[in-house]
Structure formats: structure tokens, C-alpha cells
């Protein structure tokens, strides 16, 4: 009684009745505008991408490219932004780039050839191998049996048990979620992805000068190299259905 008296007194927490809460819920379900929609309130209160950041993005990318050349070190992923799958996809695309392939050449070679080339880079480049393993991304070798790992593995995520059952289904699941997968079947998937990108490029009229396309022919033709960031950005939109719902 005393606690209730104190807390509900004027100027303190006061209180609301269950019936009032129920009425607001019913009105929201029916499409009424009560002003108490928490999801909408959070959405409006959260800051999103800004014009200034978009304006400075090009400058930031140029500075990062300059630093990569200056220090003779490629910056791919640090497992700080996005899920482990982002790092996995970026490094797989980067390995294709390290093989000196253009997107057209990726389509011309067999999946087995792509698998062998990327695996040879992993075997011979100890620095790159250490960089990948140090951020918790394991590497599944081409035979599908050997796994390179560091002291930490982001996938599979820890669920309270230090032991996990090794099954074909689990391996496929973990490889898709956050393991660099050097098996030929994965590079067949990469060929399908790049083929879709090429088809999208070809669908854009050569004389188009409109603002209809976010990624036009010029966007993809800045260089002949495989560009991991651009490709994975496209994948997150098309394959992962990760398009922002509002600009």
C-alpha cells in the first residue's frame, strides 16, 4: 500500500490501467493512429545514411586505395562490419582477384581450375592465410575434408556446448554461413553469380543516360579486375534480399 501510494503519486511514475493499454493495442491492430506505435517511433528516432557521408564516400575509398598501394597490403575484411558471411564472400571473391581473373575469365575456366588456383594461393601465401584465420573465418580446402582454423571460429556460433556433430548437412550449413569454401562446387556457384551480373549489365541499353540504374555499365566497367566489394554488395541485394526498405 505505502509503496503503491508513493510510486503512483502525482509527479512520480503515476500509472496506467490495463484497459487503456488494451484499447491502444486494439486501435493499432485495426489501423488506428494512436501515436503510440513503438516500431514507428524507433524508426523515426534512428539515424540513417546521410548526404554528407555519401558525398565523402568516394574520397574515403580513394584514401584507402592509396594506403593499400603505399603499404603494399590489400584490405579485405576485418570481421567488424556485418555477419561472418560478408567476410567469407569478400575473401572468396578476393582469391579470384588474386588469381588475376577478370569476370569473363572466371566464366571461361572450369570450377576445378578455379578451386585449384585459389587453394594454391592459400597454401603459398602464409600472410594472407594468417589474416583470414585471425578474424575467425575457417578455410575449407578443395577436398572438402581438410579445414584450416585459428583459435577462434565465428561459425558455428557457440551455443553452450564445446562439441558439435559433424554431418554433411552441418558442413554445408557452416560453409555457407561463414567458411571460405575452396571446393569446386562453390566456384560453380560463383560462376552462376557472375553470370547473373553479366546478364544484368547486358540488359542495360548502351546509350542509356538515365538515373534508372543504381549500377550501370560504367559502374561495372571501371576496371577489368574482379572487384570483391562491388560484387558482394550486389550479392547482398540480390541473393540475400538485403535491400534497404527506405532511403
DSSP 1-51: -HHHHHHTSTTS-----HHHHHHHHHHHHTT---S--HHHHHHHHS----H
Q: Which range has the top average pLDDT, 24-33, 36-45, 219-228? A: 24-33
Statement: residue 246 has pLDDT above 70: no
The C-alpha atoms of residue 180 and residue 145 are separated, in whole angstroms, by 13
Query: What confidence score (pLDDT) does residue 39 get?
Result: 82
Domain extents in the chain: 2-40, 76-206+213-238
* Contact of 137 with 180, CB cutoff 8 Å: yes
* DSSP H or E run through 148: strand 147-148
Best CA proximity match to 227, nearest among 103, 127, 99: 103
Q: Taking residues 153-166, report their average pLDDT.
A: 86
Q: Percentage of residues in the chain with pLDDT exceeding 90?
A: 55
Amino acid at each position: 500500500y505505502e509503496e503503491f501510494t508513493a510510486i503512483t503519486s502525482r509527479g512520480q511514475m503515476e500509472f496506467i490501467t490495463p484497459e487503456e493499454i488494451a484499447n491502444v493495442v486494439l486501435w493499432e491492430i485495426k489501423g488506428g493512429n494512436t501515436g503510440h506505435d513503438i516500431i514507428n517511433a524507433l524508426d523515426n528516432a534512428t539515424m540513417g545514411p546521410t548526404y554528407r557521408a555519401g558525398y565523402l564516400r568516394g574520397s574515403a575509398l580513394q584514401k584507402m586505395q592509396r594506403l593499400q598501394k603505399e603499404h603494399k597490403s590489400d584490405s579485405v575484411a576485418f570481421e567488424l562490419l556485418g555477419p561472418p558471411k560478408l567476410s567469407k564472400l569478400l575473401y572468396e571473391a578476393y582469391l579470384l582477384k588474386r588469381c588475376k581473373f577478370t569476370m569473363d575469365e572466371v566464366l571461361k575456366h572450369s570450377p576445378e581450375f578455379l578451386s585449384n588456383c585459389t587453394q594454391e594461393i592459400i597454401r603459398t601465401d602464409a600472410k594472407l592465410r594468417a589474416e583470414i584465420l585471425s578474424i575467425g573465418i575457417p578455410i575449407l580446402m578443395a577436398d572438402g575434408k581438410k579445414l584450416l582454423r585459428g583459435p577462434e571460429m565465428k561459425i558455428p556460433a557457440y551455443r553452450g556446448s564445446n562439441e558439435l556433430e559433424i554431418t554433411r548437412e552441418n558442413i554445408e550449413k557452416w560453409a555457407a554461413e561463414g567458411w571460405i569454401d575452396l571446393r569446386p562446387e562453390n566456384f560453380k556457384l560463383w560462376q552462376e553469380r557472375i553470370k547473373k551480373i553479366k546478364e544484368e549489365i547486358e540488359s542495360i541499353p548502351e546509350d542509356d543516360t538515365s538515373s534508372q540504374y543504381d549500377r550501370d555499365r560504367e559502374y561495372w566497367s571501371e576496371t577489368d579486375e574482379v572487384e570483391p566489394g562491388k560484387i558482394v554488395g550486389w550479392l547482398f541485394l540480390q541473393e540475400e534480399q538485403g535491400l534497404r526498405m527506405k532511403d
